[in-house]
Structure 1
């Protein structure tokens, strides 16, 4: 992109994000009109309904009941409980499902910001083929991501694909044509797009005095021709006689034919059809999800949706010579967790292992198979490392981008970070993913000079500055820095077992640095159990805990009425042994050295939040904000309470535990436990998000009980704005992309037009791909307070399709006192060239089934077919039985045209008279083959010239002379 093009691009982006009424699709996230469905609503409805349907099918196959009614009233909590094999109200829910749904609808909404003027991404301007190409490429990328278990990247891509698919129903005349089912050809690229209005075919007439109900031409409707509205914010030009999208910012709608056909909301030109369009968009999204589900399988589909009852187990481990004891301990604690939780609801949903040393990092191991993880960690060996510093932050960077959001990550090391320049990148990823990082630091020398062990390996002493780096990262994430000797490590790893218990919530957390004596109140609610308090600090630290009933226990008592105490290294772990003591508690800490306090427990009631970017105007909608909120400006958040329909939030606060600063928010409930939270004039600082509310579930209480939850990740403000918007989401192996970005100085949340200065720029990606970027950018006087730059990222030719890459661009002021960043995520995807599904040709079907169903287990039927992906296809990758309880055997032969042919032989007892076989090729194209046996009620079959017997469809059958059975077999390629 040239400098001129870049300036033009950035101007367009600025116009797009500031215009009042630009959104030319279903509203992205929220709507002021309560009777309007948004992309967020549509996506969430489809995901919940399809996920519940998959769980229902799994329950049926396992002989379990599934009583949940599947309709548009579903919630994430209801679906998660119903999908649990327990399905009880006491079951503890994780936030992963709701976080994953949010990931999908936020990436869906992003299309309206980054790709607002792309006709094909919104099915504008009759770009039907272009829109389908977007869907085809996106679905291929989702399936490639799932194949490599990159579910986070798969969700983001899926959300964007759903936006384009959903827009078809609000922007085209599909609904006006009387269709009540989705246009399935949009997700089947080898099906023709028929009955499209030609480029010279008039489609609309002027709306009558603002009423557009009858502006589609009668001939268009009679012929059943498909069209969509034209949209442009810069020009009124459009082909003669064509429909416009409509709306005050669509300049084409002012030119004859005047008006539009949009159904984006109830106030649109065709808003009277908004709900029909939204319902069709829900069904179409479900159809797309079903295609993906059948391709990747039920287990991977539920992982893609984020439906899990537990967190991942994620270890980042230093493998240098002095770490042999630590590796043994990591192996012990992980094996203990695996063995104790295997087969239970608390079994980790996935296992992630990232080894590091110097100069190596990885390979990253991510698996759902506990035995694979066991084998991988067992193979780790400690060797080398004589130069002391290691690539610990590079290993952590890889884990942060691979693990699902809000994961707990544990880093084992006894060495300083050699790659400390990644500190701000790591903090940016922590703030973006909201993952919690805890460092297990071991040091036999207790920060004395390093010495050589009896094995000739250098013991590495961490200096105070070395440890401070890890402490800063842990503090940013809401994690901890545990400092112990090698011999004490086995006692400290109980913190890992605590976090893997499932549904762990943070009730309260504070850091005092510099240290000072202080009191910390926190509220215990009746929905909490297994409460644990962690206090880290110097050995001279003392404390006391006071319960809501006035009982006190001090640090001098290792066992008492309130807690059992374990002290190891700088960690004090208090396991509360009291029950039903709800109300206000208090921890009093006496220390002048830095320390931290953290209170956790298990509860289904938890809080997730996302920072939002507000777009002013008639629609007043939002998009997901990457990076830090601006000092002195307003900050908006979407806050969601999970796990209970009887809990409501009454107060949301940003507070700085190291000072008196506290900012209260205004709350707007948007239903189903979701709140739009707005902070006005957030001052500079480093804050935590604290929520308080009440639970009205207990009918025996005269007043609701109080609860509180705290977000683990800290929110830091900045006076620097870093923005980057690119219309590229997928990168082909062997290609480069250019990512433009803008740096600005702000005052009170607004760009300071008169500002000037030079900023250090760093661009890092988690895959180590080659990239170029400026070292600095300078805001010149008179430039409007902004400076532009470009990052070029090159993907190796051998990068596997489905790989995800996270790019972080950060800018720091000259004094190194302020920094901000933006995070962009891309998927590496090979160009889609094979869009043809595998084809199936029946060879024969034979049946010898008795007429009495009670005797069906005594006889069998058989179905034989040839399956091929053609001479130019990518080849069949998997064949599975989608329906049927029979046996499938396959063999491979070469066809007459040189293509590989898979011969399918399926046999089953007559009690299972139906079969559906699913074939998936190497790029995810899906085909189905369906067969059925049913008792004959018609005339006898016809005998062929060859002496065989055929059904009315011409399929050769073998029929016993004593029982006439007709076998109807259809090959359905959908």
Structure 2
């Protein structure tokens, strides 16, 4: 089905030709509309179940993702909670779904073309195992990316095969239950289609195939017109086999006058199949982790990277105090962090990374930190930061505590690449003087931390140990939900300059940060009222000075409109204005790809120089995209003049914008967006934090599968430059320190790709579900130009257990339940069942999915797990699930609902028949 990249969240309906980035409204269904419909329905179901279990009402105020997130988080989401993470999660799934049409355009199994049914089902099976293993290890981004690809393949089955032509309206459950066989497949010698000279026949499947219910799919030839005799073609201009008899094609990718009914049937079946797959993953993961995978969480993630060498005792104490204050002051509010991450580093060790959603566990872990060792050697600061950037969710806020420059400064380019890829913000708190420490071969300095902070949109704060507690207010400011950046600029060298910025009615807790030395400033509101740096508590706000940081917290009644701040200094400085608001945006730099189903792919590295930069921007309002009007979108240099390079924008609907900028600013730049909030009729301004720049170098690489422990994995990659040819160095690093081999240099000819291969070898004892972040960089011999690619892949143990746990209902006692349900309150019923996993990996969890009673069970390590359910007769249906150690899900279902008429019950059936029905339901 047609590839579309964008946040299309409802069924799309357009008449006419299919286009990329299809807007809301209209007719032709796409992979994004099918995926979006299924995801929103499953997320809504899960949110409702979580709300019911927690005892609060799930009542979204509207249908937008922002309102869904607000309702899903319940009573703790009473303030500003951003929907950005949910949008980003959806976008990652949609993006990977679309990339199947670019990266696997000629792979029959990825599209169920050319009767590759067993191979296609194998991809789904492998993908589902990988998703479940990733969720167990809390590697949610890897899970989302695999989910997008698996859904594409699953959905293509219904468009590219003859499933709906055979009259089936329900999904083919055997595709996602690999213990069930694929049946009645047409073999290679069986003719399947009649000739269609016009290419638009309503149904060219042979009558014999329809009568015998034989399953086939169209052959696709991008480079050749050959196909087995008598076989159906995929069809379309890109399919060369469509002109070979039998001509035509059976794909239902687009709605045409000749295939409306079949197209609609394929869309409905693909949507239902997507829901089945999502439900299987939800049952295996549990509701809370399923929602975490989907980005349904309070936005803030607290991540600390802490130096534990001997001189850091005071700093560790302060970091511990800040964590305690965050936990204690924000628990139970919308600002309670959704996750806590801790990465200690020393020398030569760093890590391990500790991540938890449990605040008490975070308290215990940070209380264990002690300053020891290190001596006069600079620490592995950037190694610890690299681990945090690859392990923390995208767009996290990371806080680094150290009193020395980095020994591992060679990692600086890798860290910059990870910052740009993850869009995370890094702030440094540096105490003491680095001069007492021995330098590495490449002398590092505090300026390196300034560079990294600026690249990410964070702060580099240098302060004495005694003043550190005053500086950590920055952490309390930023460890909050719905944080947005209004303005960020840097000047090197410093100069006097006036910076205008716009405040809107939705903004709360507005804070201005200036870092640098010898700085004075004057702040002026729209009414002309001013306050300067000497006024600690003035008419506009409160000024705090500590180390090289000036923090100005504006008064809560600050006037909306255009403000100005005049900064005076001849020394380098940075300026940043932040606040809390649900009005925000996310973006990606994208490039168009061609093929049978053209679309847009997210760039892994920097945009190419010498050509327009293209971005996909998605804007969120307080009540969804309908509550805002989008104005100007452009790129602005952080360190240069305030000139904005505005782009040509195309409104894709639903808050999505495709923007093309011909004149990209020189050097580092960010995205700036302006618009109007309809709810308050006030203009708003937002800016991205992560800096980007263009490059003449391009790296292309695709991870096409998961990796098995102990088996070397070969990754082909290509490098090209539009600049000067010659020798380019190749550097690759992975965050797991797995052994790698590759060419460390390539000779490039301008405009031509040079091909090479990287081999990475995960150790045999690598836990299944481990995700690996691989960063590759190509740099010219002069060092003037470079680019990077950041790739993720999963290490997954080969799964051989595909058998679901089995539920055997042993006994049901419901004789006391009255036929008249209005009289049910005083009465109880009970159920006993045995749960087994045969020769599988063993049952790992048992949980109640439906029913208001209580479920208990014996030890899960026993060969037979005995479950008992007790409930009021008012709750007449029970369903519980057993999940084995590789994620196979078995269900146990029982109903004591009695039909109208004379009192009857399934319990009056013979025991053998009850057990047969229960066993059948357990495998549904």
Instruction: Please give the TM-score of this superposition, normalised by the length of structure 1.
Output: 0.88
Matched, 1:623 2:634: no
Matched, 1:725 2:702: yes
Aligned to 2:716: 740
Aligned to 2:350: 361
C-alpha distance in 1 between matches for 2:679 and 2:417: 39
Aligned to 1:219: 208
Residues 94/409 of structure 1: CA separation in 2 closer, same or farther (3 Å cut): farther
Residues 574/684 of structure 1: CA separation in 2 closer, same or farther (3 Å cut): closer
Match of 1:847 among 814, 823, 826: 814
TM-superposed deviation, 1:209: 2.2
Aligned to 1:489: 468
Deviations 1:666-685 (A, max 9, x none): 11111111101111243542
**Which range moved further: 770-779 or 213-222?**
213-222
**Which range moved further: 786-795 or 141-150?**
786-795
Deviations 1:911-944 (A, max 9, x none): 33322121111100000011122458789999xx
C-alpha distance in 2 between matches for 1:426 and 1:274: 47
Match of 2:772 among 805, 822, 825: 805
Residue aligned with 1:144, SS: helix
Match of 1:534 among 510, 513, 523: 513
Aligned to 1:687: 669
Residues 281/968 of structure 1: CA separation in 2 closer, same or farther (3 Å cut): closer
Matched, 1:253 2:242: yes
Match of 1:52 among 44, 54, 68: 44
Residue aligned with 1:233, SS: coil
RMSD (Å), alpha carbons: 2.8
CA contact (8 A) 2:65 2:83 kept: no
Give runs of aligned pairs for residues 269-668 of structure 1, distance below 5 A.
270=259, 273-443=262-432, 445=433, 449-450=435-436, 465-538=444-517, 540-579=518-557, 581-616=559-594, 620-644=598-622, 645-660=626-641, 662-668=644-650
**Which range moved further: 759-768 or 56-65?**
56-65
C-alpha distance in 1 between matches for 2:159 and 2:904: 50
Residues 118/968 of structure 1: CA separation in 2 closer, same or farther (3 Å cut): closer
Residue aligned with 2:323, SS: helix
Match of 2:870 among 907, 912, 916: 907
C-alpha distance in 2 between matches for 1:812 and 1:426: 15
TM-superposed deviation, 1:951: 2.3
Residues 647/971 of structure 1: CA separation in 2 closer, same or farther (3 Å cut): closer
C-alpha distance in 1 between matches for 2:904 and 2:673: 73
Residues 566/460 of structure 1: CA separation in 2 closer, same or farther (3 Å cut): farther
TM-superposed deviation, 1:460: 10
Residue aligned with 2:794, SS: strand
Matched, 1:66 2:58: yes
Aligned to 1:973: 923
**Which range moved further: 38-47 or 358-367?**
38-47
C-alpha distance in 2 between matches for 1:860 and 1:322: 65
Give runs of aligned pairs for residues 871-950 of structure 1, distance below 5 A.
871=839, 873-891=840-858, 900-935=863-898
Residue aligned with 1:716, SS: coil
C-alpha distance in 2 between matches for 1:616 and 1:937: 60
Match of 1:76 among 60, 65, 70: 65
Residue aligned with 1:166, SS: helix
Residues 441/87 of structure 1: CA separation in 2 closer, same or farther (3 Å cut): closer
Aligned to 2:739: 770
CA contact (8 A) 1:246 1:268 kept: no
CA contact (8 A) 1:29 1:38 kept: no
Unmatched segments (≥5 aa) in structure 2: 1-16
Residue aligned with 2:847, SS: strand
Instruction: Please give the TM-score of this superposition, normalised by the length of structure 2.
Output: 0.93
**Which range moved further: 755-764 or 202-211?**
202-211
C-alpha distance in 1 between matches for 2:535 and 2:297: 39
CA contact (8 A) 1:842 1:955 kept: no
C-alpha distance in 2 between matches for 1:956 and 1:280: 31
CA contact (8 A) 1:28 1:622 kept: yes
CA contact (8 A) 2:80 2:481 kept: no
C-alpha distance in 2 between matches for 1:63 and 1:878: 23
CA contact (8 A) 2:734 2:773 kept: yes
C-alpha distance in 2 between matches for 1:528 and 1:608: 18
Residue aligned with 1:335, SS: helix
Residues 106/155 of structure 1: CA separation in 2 closer, same or farther (3 Å cut): same
Residue aligned with 1:227, SS: coil
CA contact (8 A) 1:27 1:38 kept: no
Residue aligned with 1:84, SS: helix
C-alpha distance in 1 between matches for 2:136 and 2:656: 33
Aligned to 1:760: 729
C-alpha distance in 2 between matches for 1:674 and 1:38: 16
Aligned to 2:14: none
C-alpha distance in 1 between matches for 2:27 and 2:895: 45
**Which range moved further: 543-552 or 617-626?**
617-626
Match of 1:38 among 30, 34, 50: 30
Residue aligned with 1:85, SS: helix
Residues 955/859 of structure 1: CA separation in 2 closer, same or farther (3 Å cut): farther
**Which range moved further: 219-228 or 334-343?**
219-228
Residues 175/971 of structure 1: CA separation in 2 closer, same or farther (3 Å cut): closer
Unmatched segments (≥5 aa) in structure 1: 1-24, 451-457, 699-703, 748-754, 943-948, 958-966
Aligned to 1:16: none
Give runs of aligned pairs for residues 19-168 of structure 1, distance below 5 A.
30=22, 35-68=27-60, 74-86=63-75, 91-168=80-157
Residues 461/174 of structure 1: CA separation in 2 closer, same or farther (3 Å cut): closer
TM-superposed deviation, 1:389: 1.1
Deviations 1:585-609 (A, max 9, x none): 1111001110000000000001110
Residues 620/32 of structure 1: CA separation in 2 closer, same or farther (3 Å cut): farther
CA contact (8 A) 1:409 1:435 kept: yes
CA contact (8 A) 2:645 2:664 kept: yes
CA contact (8 A) 2:612 2:660 kept: yes
Residue aligned with 1:112, SS: helix
C-alpha distance in 1 between matches for 2:256 and 2:178: 33
CA contact (8 A) 1:415 1:461 kept: no
CA contact (8 A) 2:115 2:217 kept: yes
**Which range moved further: 53-62 or 827-836?**
53-62
Residues 936/722 of structure 1: CA separation in 2 closer, same or farther (3 Å cut): closer
CA contact (8 A) 1:93 1:643 kept: no
Residues 940/593 of structure 1: CA separation in 2 closer, same or farther (3 Å cut): closer
TM-superposed deviation, 1:303: 0.4
CA contact (8 A) 1:844 1:955 kept: no
Residues 969/397 of structure 1: CA separation in 2 closer, same or farther (3 Å cut): closer
C-alpha distance in 1 between matches for 2:577 and 2:761: 44
